């Protein structure tokens, strides 16, 4: 299987090359040259474990990794999850289900793609003999999930910038208490945007970049998108047979990575009827999918911080299909958007996507109502997926993706239902020593630091 860029001006690559590259050199995102039809396999896959299903699905794409090796990598990626089903589907009501995606090491859904990506990086180093330095900025979940996917791996260092004093205390502990030698948490004076800007500037420094073999961790890596298709398939296969028609999957969304994976799975023949994009008050996707106008706003911090995003990097992959696979059209849309901050699609076809938006005022009351009715505790991101749950159509099956464990956000939960939430892995962090490096938000100084430690 070969992979091409949505902007059509980069050479085609193999799976392993795409994993190592992330963003295409023309600024586009990679997609597979064809989408296999999985519909015929579903019956055969229905009794597989999560790791077995991942292997069957991903071996359709990772055609340049020998099968036994791929199988071993995938087994290893999902062995540190704390639930025997890896991604358990829980039924709350006649036609309401939750797919719990918080059983990985950092208790958020990003562990599902990133545990695998960490091992794929390692495979790449094994093949090329070239060490990798991973560099990224984080406002929370991505950084900790990336760190925990690369802990202690040979020939990989990971440098994660975060804004000092501006991330949740538990998230800071997840980033700084790993105890691993190859992890460098850099607490930067300034905001998340400042940290992000430094990272972008460093990536533009070609000479530095090549010398240190820098690699980005972010949600545009195609391996992340493909590995997320697996839990949509897994969830559908866990549904009772009579609940499998007219299924809507609801994904708390920010960068449009998670929900796009579901759409790809549907395109490959997974029989789900619709996908709901559930945003918080940062509603760029809600506005696009309800009006056809894509317009950047400014980020307003919310109770669901991992969705505090105003430009959704993965949207370009959908735009490619929306524009009938015309890469020139994709280039011109992305150019207009980057120059003006707006693009209006006319006509706009939302395909099978629907959208909702949840404000900070609504999040605690949704958590309270769901807790009262079902004795089930939602985290603030998942709460956005429950918007309107009382009035949902009875002839549909709803699966809400639970993207984080509630114990990661104890203040909001306390405010909503007066209970304190904990998790053993978060408790354990409280006694571990913090290791971080407090640095000024200055590109030169960060580069010197990397130079010294890479």
Ligand X SMILES: *Cc1c(COP(=O)(O)O)cnc(C)c1O
Q: Does the footprint of ligand X cover residue 306 (CB under 6 A)?
A: yes
Q: Please identify, using beta-carbon distances, which residue of 313 and 447 lies nearer to ligand X.
A: 313
Q: CB under 8 Å to 448, separation ≥6 — which residues? A: none
Copy the structure tokens of residue 38: 């999985």
Piece of 91-99, 186-194, 256-264, 369-377 that binds ligand X (CB under 6 A): 256-264
Q: Does the footprint of ligand X cover residue 149 (CB under 6 A)?
A: no
The interface with ligand X within residues 180-219 (CB under 6 A) comprises 219
Q: How far apart, in whole angstroms, are the C-alpha atoms of residue 28 and residue 325?
A: 13
Yes or no: say if 407 and 423 are a contact pair by the CB < 8 Å rule.
Answer: yes
DSSP SS3 for 36: coil
Q: Does the footprint of ligand X cover residue 141 (CB under 6 A)?
A: yes
132-137 and 214-216 strand pairing: parallel
Residue 314 CB, shortest distance to ligand X, in Å, is: 7
Q: How far apart, in whole angstroms, are the C-alpha atoms of residue 104 and residue 114?
A: 10
Q: Please identify, using beta-carbon distances, which residue of 243 and 304 lies nearer to ligand X.
A: 304
Residue 427 CB, shortest distance to ligand X, in Å, is: 20
Distances (CA, A) of 396 to 43, 95, 238, 250, 274: 22, 7, 16, 12, 10
Copy the structure tokens of residue 305: 């911080």
| Catalytic-residue membership of 110 | yes
Residue 255 CB, shortest distance to ligand X, in Å, is: 3
Catalytic residue among 110, 153, 387, 408: 110
Comparing C-alpha atoms, which of 373, 253, 267 is closest to residue 308?
Answer: 253
Distances (CA, A) of 400 to 135, 263, 275, 389: 32, 15, 10, 10
Q: Does the footprint of ligand X cover residue 95 (CB under 6 A)?
A: no
Piece of 17-25, 26-34, 192-200, 251-259 that binds ligand X (CB under 6 A): 251-259
Copy the structure tokens of residue 130: 């070239």
Question: Residues in contact with ligand X, total (CB under 6 A)?
Answer: 17
DSSP SS3 for 287: helix
Piece of 9-17, 26-34, 70-78, 248-256 that binds ligand X (CB under 6 A): 248-256
Quick note: the x/- pattern for ligand X over 397-426, rule CB under 6 A, is ------xx----------------------
Residue 384 CB, shortest distance to ligand X, in Å, is: 8
Residue of the chain from 108, 333, 407, 416 that contacts ligand X (CB under 6 A): 108
Residue of the chain from 136, 163, 254, 410 that contacts ligand X (CB under 6 A): 254
Residue 449 CB, shortest distance to ligand X, in Å, is: 27
Q: How far apart, in whole angstroms, are the C-alpha atoms of residue 185 and residue 178?
A: 10
**Neighbour tally for 39: CB within 10 Å:** 11
Q: Does the footprint of ligand X cover residue 157 (CB under 6 A)?
A: no
DSSP SS3 for 409: coil
Q: Which residues are catalytic?
A: 110
Residues of this chain that bind ligand X (CB under 6 A): 108-110, 141, 219, 252-258, 306-307, 381, 403-404
């Amino acid at each position: 299987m070969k992979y091409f860029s949505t902007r059509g001006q980069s050479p085609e690559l193999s799976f392993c090359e795409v994993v190592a590259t992330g963003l295409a050199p023309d600024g586009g995102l990679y997609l597979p040259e064809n989408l296999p039809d999985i519909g015929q396999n579903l019956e055969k896959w229905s009794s597989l474990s999560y790791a077995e299903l991942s292997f069957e699905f991903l071996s359709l794409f990772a055609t340049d990794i020998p099968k036994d090796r791929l199988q071993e990598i995938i087994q290893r990626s999902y062995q540190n999850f704390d639930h025997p089903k890896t991604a358990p589907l829980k039924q709350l009501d006649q036609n309401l289900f939750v797919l719990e995606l918080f059983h990985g090491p950092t208790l958020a859904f990003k562990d599902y793609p990133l545990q695998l990506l960490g091992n794929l990086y390692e495979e790449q180093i094994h093949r090329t003999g070239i060490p990798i330095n991973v560099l990224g900025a984080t406002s929370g979940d991505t950084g900790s999930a990336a760190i925990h996917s690369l802990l202690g791996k040979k020939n990989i260092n990971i440098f994660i910038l975060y804004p000092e004093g501006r991330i949740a205390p538990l998230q800071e502990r997840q980033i700084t208490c790993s105890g691993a030698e190859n992890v460098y948490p850099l607490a930067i004076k300034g905001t998340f945007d400042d940290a992000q800007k430094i990272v972008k500037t460093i990536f533009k420094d070609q000479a530095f970049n090549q010398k240190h073999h820098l690699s980005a961790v972010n949600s545009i890596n195609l391996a992340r998108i493909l590995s997320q298709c697996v839990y949509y398939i897994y969830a559908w296969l866990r549904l009772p047979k009579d609940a499998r028609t007219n299924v809507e999957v609801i994904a708390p969304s920010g960068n449009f990575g998670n929900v796009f994976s579901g759409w790809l799975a549907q395109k490959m023949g997974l029989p789900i009827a619709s996908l709901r994009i559930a945003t918080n008050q940062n509603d760029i996707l809600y506005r696009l999918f309800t009006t056809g106008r894509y317009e950047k706003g400014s980020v307003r911090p919310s109770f669901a911080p991992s969705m505090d995003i105003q430009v959704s990097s993965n949207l370009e992959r959908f735009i490619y299909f929306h524009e009938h696979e015309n890469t020139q059209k994709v280039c011109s849309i992305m150019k207009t958007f980057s120059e003006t901050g707006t693009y209006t699609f006319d006509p706009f076809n939302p395909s099978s996507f629907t959208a909702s938006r949840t404000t900070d005022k609504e999040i605690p009351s949704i958590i309270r109502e769901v807790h009262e009715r079902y004795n089930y505790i939602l985290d603030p991101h998942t709460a956005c997926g429950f918007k309107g749950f009382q009035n949902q159509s009875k002839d549909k099956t709803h699966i809400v993706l639970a993207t984080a464990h509630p114990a990661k956000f104890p203040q909001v939960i306390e405010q909503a239902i007066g209970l304190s939430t904990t998790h053993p892995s978060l408790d354990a962090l409280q006694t571990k020593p913090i290791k971080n490096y407090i640095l000024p938000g200055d590109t030169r100084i960060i580069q010197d630091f990397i130079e010294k430690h890479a």
